[in-house]
A = this chain, B = another copy of it.
Amino acid sequence: MKKYVYMFREGNETMRALLGGKGANLAAMVNLNLPVPQGFTVTTEACNEYYADGKIINDEIKRQIDVCLSELEKVTDKTLGGKENPLLVSVRSGAKFSMPGMMDTILNLGLNDETVEVMANKTNNIRFAYDSYRRFIQMYSDVACGVDKELFEEVLTELKEKNGYESDLDITAADFKDHVIPEYKAIFKARLGRDFPQDPKQQLMGAILAVFSSWMNERAVVYRNLNNIPHDLGTAVNVQEMVFGNMGDSSGTGVLFTRNAATGENHIYGEYLINAQGEDVVAGIRTPLKIDRLAEDMPHIYDQLIQIVKGLELHYRDMQDCEFTVEEGKLYILQTRNGKRTGHAALKIAVDLVHEGLINKPTALTRVEPDQISQLLHPNFTKAALDQGEVMLSGLPASPGAASGKVYLTADKAVECAEKGEKVILVRHETSPEDIKGMDACLGILTSTGGMTSHAAVVARGMGRACVVGAKGLSINYKEKTFTIAGTTYPEGTEISIDGTTGNVYAGALAVEEQELTGDFAELMSWADEIKTLGVRANADTPKDADTAIKFGAEGIGLCRTEHMFFEGDRIEYVRQMILSDTLEERELALEELYKFQIEDFKGIYRAMVGLPVTVRLLDPPLHEFLPHTDEEYQVVAAKLGKTLAEVKVKGDSLHEANPMLGHRGCRLAVTYPEIYNMQVRAIINAAIDVQNELGCNIVPEIMIPLVGQESEIVYVKGNITKAIELELAKRSTKLEYKIGTMIEIPRAALTADSIAKHAEFFSFGTNDLTQMTYGFSRDDIGSFLPDYKEKKLVQVDPFVSLDQSGVGQLVQIASTKGREVKPNLKLGICGEHGGDPESIKFCHNVGLNYVSCSPYRVLVARLAAAQAAAEQILVAHSTEDILVKDK
């Protein structure tokens, strides 16, 4: 028979999945002989059975609960509902990962009309007993039965008002017994149509049921969705003997952190209350005392407590968050866990613990969440500014950072005002590729529509701009040049502030503070670079991007998207001439003009990278992305080409496609129009030669062919561009090393990677497209069904955010294996959005890729994630005490 219930002493700290984090820690503390109240844990498996059985706790589980309850009664020499020595227990939820939103705690369970009297007699403290009882009724009704706790609070408030009491402490035992408790019971009955349960075993089963059922309450589900925690883990339930901090002035209760959770400083940090139960500390009804006061109030207890919690920190080798209670001069540790902390604190604690010799560097690297690095990177509003700020509006936090400036409603106006030195916030319904320059010129972007993978969101993250999208209360009148929020209309030029980390939009300009990348941060990153084996490159399309990438420690450019340069300035007109040409000759004229721009673009990038590798992807998107939108724009092209408006419009229309994502793009364009890639490689090669001569460093351009799906494509395109390159080198009588490789972004390319590898010097996994085609999901259309999938729990993570390891990852694995079978030294990288996602980066490390490439602003995150992947391998390989259970 499966074991569903464990006494604390039967568990240990490795059993987190089964006993939950809290249960495993309680077991660990018991095993460390700490003064922990006794109890038992109902397992997460029992929770899953409960759901499998249609929300019923089956007989076997009930039987095991009874067995453990009997043992607890024996150990404590108390009896649940006993008339002589009644056992009171707390009931707490405890999942594998700590999780707000679930039922937290019920205290004093076991009290009823009889046992409350016994307790009163035993403790010689009638007030304490009845106060406990009323607390229990209130808590049980609220968390286990869903009765609004405000109803109970009102009773107390009225009572205090009526009697002129200043605080709860003024309430007398008689008040509780004769007035409060009868009223509480009446509320319970009125709301639920039954009497408050008097049978303690019934109370216990009700509480356990409530914990199980809280696993699926809405807030818990939302939290798990947001934090990528699977829904099938289940929660455990901890049933523990009560101890009482409210048994007079020699009793008390508190919580403490062994280090400062906000700053990471190494000093005990916590609060406590004399003569109180735990909930009083967090509920904010009474103002708790700083933990230091305990040294004065109860010096002996304080010393014991400090010794224990420092011992726990030493044991867990991490900052601890402990709950304790003093019952009539005796200290109990109720709970300990690795403490939650800010990014700053995580960083400082990890570095300090290394310096203190408690953990090694690989362990330290695993102690900082890569995503917390974002907090350390982006400018933030000062705390003072936030405290005073007025939230006008909220949207989705699409790209972190804080920005204040004047609102402009078009990209052109944004550029114009930014050039005049103004701080600009670009505000649009949504953005499109033509807004790029405006997005670059501004400090922050705010849109009224779109989601986390909308154009604005993706580009802003790439550029490191603060961005809030989908701010529903915002409407824009482009004609009148105004925007309206909550009925108030503002003109262009109005100052606002946006917080891309929270999604909040504030009125006026809030003070911003920049972050420094020095000290502990620099030290941790130096350890990261020592340990990581996966290279980190950046996706950078402009010299400016390249500078940013270098600043954050990128080791090269993994993806330079040439088409992003096509929208800038006048060149879009030549692009349009090129695509609306009817003949090779017309097309070559336009391409010659574009060549002049492209060679300068590449020179700028090479100069910024000073010899670091640069991978340039040849033209990828379908041509119609560059088409004119208005008749005026068409007319400009028509004039240049010497054609009629009608002629160029017909040509333009003919380029529209039913499914452009699966259409005439990537290397397919180069099969039809080889002259486009030939122009691009000429620019790449000549720019490299020029900058090589200029800087005296060695430049090895890496030329990447997009959208290859068949061996014949790479053979054909590589043949053409190689000819064009060799011709160019011959013309200049010079030699230059260069590499030609391909994106692997078509499932077929991954499946036939062995034949493609014969012709490629490197593969770069384009996991955005690979995800689209492997799932058959269009990124542009996924918004119409992904919310339903999330709501109905069909997906846990958006596969465009974190790489789908079992499907898309399988193709990455297949292609890596097949490619290296043919060419053992084949260089493998990834350049989709996943290149900046920590989980995906770990996958890339494990598959054996050579590098990831991500947006410049994700480079630090990627460096840390890459180091963590390496660290985890080292820690697993050296299965010593250094390997500690990592708390989420």
Contacts and interface: CB of A to CB of B under 8 A. Distances in A.
Interface of A: 657-664, 668, 671-672, 707, 709-710, 712-713, 716, 745-748, 751-752, 755, 769, 772-778, 780-781, 784-785, 788-789, 792-795, 804, 806-808, 810-811
Given A746-B776, A747-B811, A748-B774, 10 more contacts: A659-B781, A662-B772, A662-B778, A662-B781, A663-B778, A668-B785, A671-B794, A747-B807, A751-B811, A752-B810
Contact of A716 (B664, B713, B792): B792
A712 B80 CA distance: 44
A500 B436 CA distance: 52
A877 B752 CA distance: 30
B747 A712 contact: no
A748 B672 contact: no
Contacts of A746: 774-776
A327 to B, nearest CB: 49
A604 B394 CA distance: 56
Contact of A793 (B712, B751, B776): B712
A780 B657 contact: yes
A259 to B, nearest CB: 41
Contact of A709 (B752, B776, B781, B810): B776
8 contacts: A658-B661, A661-B776, A661-B778, A662-B777, A709-B776, A712-B794, A745-B776, A752-B806
Contacts of A789: 671
A662 B663 contact: no
A663 B781 contact: yes
B671 A781 contact: no
A746 B773 CA distance: 8
Contacts of A788: 671-672
A780 B663 CA distance: 9
A451 to B, nearest CB: 14
B810 A751 contact: yes
Contacts of A747: 747, 773-774, 776, 807, 811
B752 A807 contact: yes
Contacts of A671: 785, 788-789, 792, 794
Contacts of A792: 671, 716
A746 B776 CA distance: 6
A709 to B, nearest CB: 5
Contacts of A755: 806
Contacts of A811: 747, 751
**Which among A752, A776, A811 has the highest number of chain B CB atoms within 10 Å?**
A776
A725 B773 CA distance: 33
A774 B794 contact: no
Given A751-B807, A773-B747, A794-B671, A660 B663 contact: no
Nearest to A666: B776
A777 B665 CA distance: 10
Nearest to A746: B776
Nearest to A707: B776
A750 to B, nearest CB: 9
Contacts of A716: 792, 794
Nearest to A796: B712
Nearest to A810: B751
A804 B663 CA distance: 18
For the complex of A and B, 9 pairs with smallest distance between CB atoms: A662-B778, A659-B778, A658-B780, A748-B807, A663-B781, A712-B794, A657-B781, A747-B747, A659-B661
A807 B780 CA distance: 26
Assembly stoichiometry (copies): 2
Nearest to A784: B664
A778 to B, nearest CB: 4
A220 to B, nearest CB: 19
A315 to B, nearest CB: 40
Nearest to A673: B788
A788 B668 CA distance: 9
A672 B785 contact: yes
B776 A769 contact: yes
Nearest to A793: B712
**Which among A661, A662, A716, A745 has the highest number of chain B CB atoms within 10 Å?**
A662
A660 B657 contact: no
**Which among A716, A751, A780, A793 has the highest number of chain B CB atoms within 10 Å?**
A751
Contacts of A785: 664, 668, 671-672
**Which among A664, A772, A781, A811 has the highest number of chain B CB atoms within 10 Å?**
A781
Contacts of A777: 662, 709
A707 B710 CA distance: 25
A662 B664 contact: no
Contacts of A751: 774, 806-807, 810-811
Given A774-B748, A777-B662, A795 B657 contact: no
A587 to B, nearest CB: 15
Contact of A659 (B660, B672, B793, B810): B660
A660 B660 CA distance: 10
A658 B664 CA distance: 15
A430 to B, nearest CB: 13
Contacts of A657: 778, 780-781, 784
A594 to B, nearest CB: 22
B794 A713 contact: yes
A448 to B, nearest CB: 16
A747 B749 CA distance: 12
A808 B780 CA distance: 25
A755 B806 CA distance: 10
A696 B671 CA distance: 60
Nearest to A716: B794
A707 B776 CA distance: 8
A254 to B, nearest CB: 45
Given A657-B784, A780-B658, A794-B710, A748 B808 contact: yes
A562 B40 CA distance: 57
Contacts of A775: 709-710, 746, 748
Contacts of A748: 774-776, 804, 807-808
A806 B769 CA distance: 21
Nearest to A748: B807
A780 B659 contact: yes
A482 B789 CA distance: 51
Contacts of A713: 794
Contacts of A658: 660-661, 778, 780-781
Nearest to A814: B751
Contacts of A752: 806-807, 810
A30 to B, nearest CB: 39
Contacts of A781: 657-660, 662-664
B663 A784 contact: yes
Nearest to A622: B781
A129 B792 CA distance: 91
A811 B659 CA distance: 23
Nearest to A656: B781
A793 B671 CA distance: 10
A727 B447 CA distance: 46
A91 B671 CA distance: 38
Nearest to A808: B748
A794 B712 CA distance: 5
A121 to B, nearest CB: 56
A249 to B, nearest CB: 57
Contacts of A707: 776
Contacts of A662: 659, 661-662, 772-773, 776-778, 781
